[in-house]
């Protein structure tokens, strides 16, 4: 019960973080691409920025927490897939999300 409640709480907390991150992300895109922008120009601006690195790392962390917990309910309710095998698969999925996300963050901001 306690672990299920913990998952529920962190999913809602990560949703709140994501709401903010998505807004900042979209606003930054709209602001940055006014007048057109190339990949090289983007990287010139982003590389070496510790603040943006931290922001997008938080974004990736929130996604890593939020998505697998939501998927856990979907798998349970739609496919009837519950229990240890589902939880382990979702843990792997979370690790995949974290790896892919942080790889992108490192490429763009490091």
Partner 1 sequence: MSVLRVSVRRGDAWQAFEVPRRESQTVLDVVTHIQRHLDPTLAYRYACRVGMCGSCAMTVNGAPRWTCRTHVDKVAKEGRLEISPLGNLPVIRDLVTDMREFFDKWARAKGQFGGERKRSDDFALLSPVSGKRKLADVNIECIGCAVCYSACDVVAWNPDYLGPAALNRAWTLVNDERDKAQAERLRAVAGDAGCLSCHTHMSCTERCPKALSPTAGIAGLKRATLKAALRGEL
Residues of the shown chain interacting with partner 1 in the complex, contacts defined by CB under 8 A = 1-2, 4-6, 8-9, 73, 76-78, 82
CB contact at 8 A, 42 and 31 = no
Could you tell me the smallest distance in angstroms from the CB atom of residue 103 to partner 1?
32
Half-sphere exposure of 35 (CA within 13 A, CB side): 4
The structure tokens listed for 23 are: 């807004």
DSSP structure class, residue 37: -
Closest CB to partner 1 among 2 and 34?
Answer: 2
Closest CB to partner 1 among 6 and 99?
Answer: 6
Closest CB to partner 1 among 31 and 78?
Answer: 78
Could you tell me the smallest distance in angstroms from the CB atom of residue 85 to partner 1?
15
Residue count (the chain): 110
């Amino acid at each position: 019960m306690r672990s299920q409640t913990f998952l529920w709480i962190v999913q809602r907390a990560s949703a709140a973080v994501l709401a903010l991150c998505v807004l900042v992300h979209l606003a930054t895109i709209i602001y940055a691409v006014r007048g057109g922008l190339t990949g090289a120009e983007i990287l010139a601006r982003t590389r070496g920025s510790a603040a943006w690195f931290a922001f997008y790392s938080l974004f990736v962390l929130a996604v890593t927490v939020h998505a697998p917990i939501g998927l856990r309910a979907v798998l349970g309710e739609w496919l009837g897939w519950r229990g240890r095998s589902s939880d382990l698969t979702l843990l792997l999925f979370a690790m995949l999300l974290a790896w892919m996300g942080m790889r992108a963050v490192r490429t763009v901001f490091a």
